[in-house]
Amino acid sequence: MSAQSIDLTAGDLVEARRFGRRQITGMVFGVAGIALIALVAPNITGDTRTFAFEPPPDALDFSFDPPTMVTIIGLIYLLAGGLSFLPQQFDRWAGRGQLLAAAATIPLILVVALGLSATPATNVTNLFDESLVLATPIALGAMTGLWSERSGIINIGIEGTMLGSAGVGFMIFATLGEASSTTWLWIAILVAVLTGGALALLLAVLSIRYQINQIVAGVVINLFALGLTGFLRSEVIVPSGNSKGISTSEFGIPLLEQIPILGDTFFTGKPIHYMMYAVVFLTWLVMFRTAWGLRVRSCGEDPHAAETLGIDVIKTRYRSVVLGGFIAGLAGAWFSMESQSGFEDNMTNAAGFIALAAMIFGKWTPGGAFAGALLFGFARALGSRLQFLEVEISGFGIPSEFFQSLPFAVTLVVVAGALGRSIAPAAEGQPYRPSK
Amino acid sequence: MGTDQRDLEPSGFRLKVQEAFQLQPVLVPLYAILLSFIVGGILIALIGVNPFEAYWALLRGMFGSKDNIAASVARSVPFMGSALALAFAFRAGLFNIGAEGQLLVGGVTAAWVGTWAWMTDTPAIIAIPIILLAGAFGGFMWGWVPGILRAKTGAHEVISTIMLNSIALFLVRWIVNSRDPVILRDLEASVPRTEAISDTAELPTIIDSQPPLHWGLFVMLGVCFLIAFVLKRTTFGFETITVGTNPHAARYAGMSVDRIIILAMAISGACAGIAAASEVSGTNQLFQPGTFALIGFDGIAVALLARANPIGIIPSALLWGSLLSGAPLMQQEADVSIDVVRIIQSMVLLFVAADAIVRYIFRVRGEAEAHIKASTTGWAGQ
């Protein structure tokens, strides 16, 4: 494969198509399908298992016997594999088939896990709700990266920006609001958002004005935030005596919360979580449907061409990096004032880097990045769920570490297998000097 | 640090003399450090502590006695490996943030090999190289995976190394924690850790400080010089730098870009792995996952501070390690949180990178340097 990709001429491209990524992915699905039908289905327990959609009593549920389900999913895999080898004009169908097969992996994992566990039922609605909640900071962080990188500034300081805003926001809440007043909670969230903007402004000044290597600038932010928040925690937050307090409270979305089953879980939740959806949607809307977004993107692709069109590249870059910082600030507030109330050293725990991965996973698009964030959220929720189910293979308990590492392994496989090379904005990382 | 440009200039005796007296390259980092301490001092003053008192304690913590100096140096040794892991890949245009995982896998491999029964009968001169190579091998494999994924499937190394960091963390946690089945856990210990390695595989201690200064220092210095030599004097090094600067040109010149990418990542991993092995063998004589926390993360900063120069990593790691090693005394005596040191570190990195600020403040003449040319073209550079 590598030999062919050295000099891609038109002829090579046609040559490469015959046995490209799609066919290879198809083959993997085909083999997996056969393995499921021939090996997994006959060996899995025949006892009935249940997916519950509501908490008991009299829950709505879906019962099935694992071998049949595994066989059905295996057939879907086989179908996807077969479709991949159709002539080129059916490429769309092959793509759809693979997408379906990939989606079927989620129920497959659940079915197999439940089949291997002694527990007969598990609540699925909750699981999906947990996934969405856990995706919140990752999706927000990915949007931060998107704003910055689409304008041409590499941002690996997402982690630090989130951590810094989590710490500074909670510090304000603990000192001024004694971690108990709702008004101060919201003021503190606002402070967190502004802190995110300030840290992003630092990144912007370093990379735009001083033109230092943007990766270095990001690392500076990460280190600085780690030090600063640690310092604030031990010198201000802990002495204030308000290390713990209230966090944002759940509320239901009017009308939608009345929907049976879904209303209680999906439409009842915490505010920053819902803001995340708005941020993702607005990012997409502004970046891909407005003139402003077009300008931002053109600065990331070819700043000099943008300049000839009368766009002020420097201003545009400052604006979008700082806007991204606000979003990261919101993500920071999620950590210290929504998911829990309190600040711990390094509490973002690499979520910023995972957001970065989600953004690259989504090939620098809002929708893709959101999907990446969901994948992480789901895998993490699934990991802790499976741990709880005590899955065993012939008496050998599968260690919980295995499930905890599952999200990362899945991402690795997805990125390597289905995604391939992702193309960053062309002018990213290059310092820009106005041509005057 | 400008070594690349120097190659292009005519090298005569006069030039060498001139270079020796040129203080500028040293001056700017020194001013940067000074400036960082001023920023840190302001912060300390803000919480109502005399910054001079705090810094005096910090300084004594770093270099106050023979033991403190030894501890500072000992603390720096692992950073050399984790920084090299970033620097070498950086030269190939790759951004390896997987040192954290590569350290863990290298460390656990070394600890495993160190507990092999026949190691007790093996003389130290053989056992020590074996344990170091085992660590290097573990790191090599953990770096090889993102390398091959990048070269063969195009999976971005930033994603894959982040994922592999987490996977490594859970993997070693399982290996060290698991009681049923027991893998490497020392069942008599109250905290999860592996059994002690055989005595023969221990790197000899030089000064019995806390942590002890051991021969791992010379191992890591050797690795730094080796990598510098490989980059400067070998064909492979030349190819690595070419791929890092311009992969298209490298491809056009007939170099196998894929091979270089895979090897560069794997060798990066090996650098981290050997550092982990030296820690396992010289410092703890056993493996405990917690001991490697943040070493890979800080390695990024140490390497960037050295501008990805393998020799520059030595002073930069020494600065890093001694600051961390001196901080507890500052906390004890002046009641200042050790996190001040982290802020100072980030400022050092900031001012060294943005030397325009330093030059402006201290009126140092000369142009601001363009840093780290490789890999500034974004991260999907290919």
DSSP letter string, B202-266: SPPEEE--SSPEETHHHHHHHHHHHHHHHHHHSHHHHHHHHHHH-HHHHHHTT--HHHHHHHHHH
Query: Is A267's pLDDT higher than 70?
Result: yes
Do residues B201 and B311 both lie within one domain? yes
Q: Which chain B residues are closer than 8 Å to A373 by Cβ?
A: none
Q: Which of residues 323-352 of A touch B (CB under 8 A)?
A: 350
Task: Examine residue B60 and state whether it is found in any structural domain, yes or no.
Answer: no
What is the spatial distance between Cα B17 and Cα B173, in angstroms, rounded to a whole number? 54
Nearest CA in chain B to A406: B167
Alpha helices by DSSP H, listed for A117-213, are 124-150, 158-176, 182-204
CA B336 to chain A, closest CA, distance in angstroms equals: 8
Residue A4's pLDDT band, with cuts at 50, 70 and 90, is very low
Residue A10: predicted pLDDT: 45
Nearest-by-Cβ selection for A216 from B97, B152, B349: B349
Question: Has residue A195 got a pLDDT over 50?
Answer: yes
Look up residue A233 and give its DSSP letter.
I
Write down the pLDDT at residue A420. Answer: 59
Phi, psi of A239 (to 5 degrees): -60, -25
CA distance A153 to A424: 11
> pLDDT-derived band of residue A330, with 50, 70 and 90 as boundaries?
very high
Asked, for residue B115, whether it belongs to a domain, the answer is: yes
Q: Are residues B268 and B174 in the same domain?
A: yes
**Structural domain contains residue B17:** no
Indicate yes or no: CB of A429 within 8 angstroms of CB of B378.
Answer: yes
Buried-exposed string A313-330: b where 16+ CB fall within 10 A, e elsewhere: bbebbbbbbbbbbbbbbb
B97 & B217 share domain = yes
Please report the pLDDT score of residue A337 as a whole number: 93
A154–B337 C-beta distance less than 8 A: no
Residues B318 and B177 in one domain: yes
Measured torsion, CA atoms of residues B115, B121, B123, B129, in degrees rounded to the nearest 10: -30
Cβ within 8 Å, pair A419-B349: no
pLDDT at A421: 64
For testing contact with chain A, the best of B39, B152, B300, B376 (most A CBs within 10 A): B376
B325 and B347 belong to one structural domain: no
In a shared domain, residues B314 and B369: no
AA letter at A407: P
Q: Are residues B71 and B43 in the same domain?
A: no
pLDDT for A312 beyond 90: yes
The token duo for B201 is 């595989």
Structural domain of B32: 27-49+336-373
Q: Encode burial over A36-74: b for 16+ CB neighbours within 10 A, e otherwise.
A: bbeebbeebeeeebbbbbbeeeeeeeeebebbebbbbbb
Higher pLDDT, A358 or B226: B226
Sign of the torsion angle spanned by Cα atoms B47, B53, B55, B60:
negative
CA A161/CA A222 separation, integer angstroms: 7
Please list the ranges in chain B whose pLDDT falls under 70: 1-25, 365-382
pTM: 0.84
Mutate to test the interface with B, among A220, A234, A356, A421 (most CBs of B within 10 A): A220
Query: Is the distance from CB of B309 to CB of B373 less than 8 angstroms?
Result: no
Nearest-Cα residue of chain B relative to residue A351: B162
Scored b (16 or more CB within 10 A) or e, A87-116 reads eeeeeeebeebbeebbebbbbbbbbbbbbb
Q: Are A350 and B165 in contact (CB < 8 Å)?
A: yes
Average pLDDT over residues A119-145: 89
In this structure, the answer to whether residues B360 and B326 fall within a common structural domain is no
Res A8: pLDDT: 45
ω into residue A57 within 30 of 0, thus cis? yes
Answer yes or no: is pLDDT of A88 > 60.
Answer: yes
Of B303 and A28, the one with more pLDDT: B303
A232/chain B closest Cα distance in angstroms? 9
Query: In A, which residues are within 8 Å of B378 by CB distance?
Result: 154, 424-430
B190 to chain A, minimum CA–CA distance in Å?
20
Q: Which residue of B has its CA nearest to A220?
A: B346
The number of folded domains in chain B is 2
Q: What residues contact residue A402 under an 8 Å CB cut-off, 6+ apart?
A: B170, B174
Pick from B156, B174, B350: CB nearest A415: B156
Neighbours of B188 (CB within 10 A): 6
Domain assignment present for B126: yes
What residues of chain A, 382 to 421, have a C-beta less than 8 Å from chain B? Answer: 397, 399, 401-402, 404-405, 408-409, 411-412, 415-417, 419-421
Mean pLDDT of chain A: 84
Q: Do B105 and B198 belong together in one domain? A: yes
H or E element, residue A49: strand A49-52
The secondary structure element, H or E, covering residue A61 is strand A61-64
CB atoms A1 and B152 under 8 Å = yes
A interface test, pick of B338, B346, B349 with most A CB neighbours within 10 Å? B346
The answer to whether A389 and A117 are in contact (CB under 8 A) is: yes
pLDDT of residue B380: 43
Of B52 and A97, the one with more pLDDT: B52
CB-CB contact of B133 with B201 (8 Å): no
Residue B18 or A133, more confident: A133
Task: Judge if B150 and B279 occupy the same domain.
Answer: yes
Q: Closest residue of A to B357, CA-based?
A: A210
Nearest to B154 among A235, A408, A421 (CB): A421
Residue with tokens 């959806």: A277
Q: Could you give the CA distance from residue B78 to residue B103 in angstroms, rounded to a whole number?
A: 9
* Residue A39: pLDDT over 90: no
In angstroms, what separates the C-alpha of A393 from chain B's closest C-alpha? 14
Residue B376 has its nearest CB partner, among A222, A415, A430, at A430
Residue A46 neighbours by CB under 8 Å, 6+ apart: A65, A66, A67
Query: B315, B330, B345 — which closes off a domain?
Result: B330
Residue B3 located in a structural domain:
no
Highest mean pLDDT among A154-163, A264-273, B7-16, B152-161: A154-163
pLDDT score for B104: 96
Q: What is the pLDDT of residues A167-176, one digit of tens each?
A: 999 999 999 9
Position B11 in a domain: no
What are the chain B neighbours of A16 within 8 Å (beta carbons)?
none
Task: Kindly state whether residue B20 falls inside one of the protein's structural domains.
Answer: no
In a domain, residue B58? The reply is: no
What is the mean predicted confidence (pLDDT) over A388-394? Answer: 71
Same domain, B248 and B369: no
Non-local CB neighbours of A265 within 8 Å, separated by 6+ positions:
A125, A126, A128, A129
Cα A326 from Cα A131, distance rounded (Å): 24
Torsion of CA A390, A392, A395, A398, to 10 degrees: -90
Q: Are residues B273 and B347 in the same domain?
A: no
| A405·B156 Cβ contact <8 A | no
| Maximum average pLDDT range among A20-29, A267-276, A405-414, B186-195 | A267-276
- Tell me which of A120 and B149 has the higher pLDDT: B149
* Domains recognised in chain A with CATH numbers: 10-116 (no CATH), 127-380 (1.10.3470)
Residue A61 pairs in a beta bridge with A52
Asked if A412 lies within 8 A of B165 by C-beta distance, the reply is: no
